[in-house]
Amino acid sequence: MLLRFYKRLQNKFNSNKRLILINKPKSNKLFKEVLLHEFIHELIDSNRINIKSFKWNEGITAYLTYYALGKQREFYKKLKSTKNKIWNIYSTYARKWTIYLKDIQNPQQRKNIILKKVKIINKLKKSTKPKILDNIPERFNNTKKLIMM
């Protein structure tokens, strides 16, 4: 059922267009924040900022969402963990970005620092792969070669 719905949507959109489906939260204020968050994901993508780590990617998006709302200072203080585990990840990584971008003077400087940090994050993501691959048993050796290509 959902697959058919998805296929129908896919036919209506050409490959340049993207569709984001959002559950409507109970509060209108929260809905606007979620909408802004998703819009910022798109902005990050269109600026070719490609972060391989889910946590760092959500963190920068949460940081920039709060920045756009003028609430980024909320990440200055140490955060208490909440019952919402996903939010705990978002806010922890948003705080890390807030610390990196604290003394930024202008948008160009912000983008440069973000790109520099993304390079480091993406390198770290790559360097963890061989460790995992080393643990693949001998009989999956072909798989190992395939993954490493």
Count of Cβ atoms closer than 10 Å to residue 101 Cβ? 19
Question: What's the closest the beta carbon of residue 65 comes to Zn ion, in angstroms?
Answer: 9
Tokens of 2: 């959902």
What is the DSSP annotation of 73-99?
GGGTSPPPP-S-HHHHHHHHHHHHHHH
Angle at 26 between CA 22 and CA 27, to 5 degrees: 100
Question: What's the closest the beta carbon of residue 34 comes to Zn ion, in angstroms?
Answer: 9
Helices (H), the chain: 2-12, 28-46, 54-68, 85-100, 107-134, 141-148
Contact code string over 101-140 relative to Zn ion, x by CB under 5 A: ----------------------------------------
Q: Are 144 and 133 in contact (CB under 8 A)?
A: yes
- Residues in 35-94 that interact with Zn ion by CB under 5 A: 58, 61
Question: What's the closest the beta carbon of residue 37 comes to Zn ion, in angstroms?
Answer: 5
Rounded to the nearest 5°, which phi and psi values hold at 102? -60, -45
Question: What's the closest the beta carbon of residue 87 comes to Zn ion, in angstroms?
Answer: 11
Question: What's the closest the beta carbon of residue 111 comes to Zn ion, in angstroms?
Answer: 19
Number of residues that bind Zn ion (CB under 5 A): 2
- Between 51 and 101, CB nearer to Zn ion: 51
- Between 33 and 58, CB nearer to Zn ion: 58
- Between 62 and 101, CB nearer to Zn ion: 62
Binding site for Zn ion (CB under 5 A): 58, 61
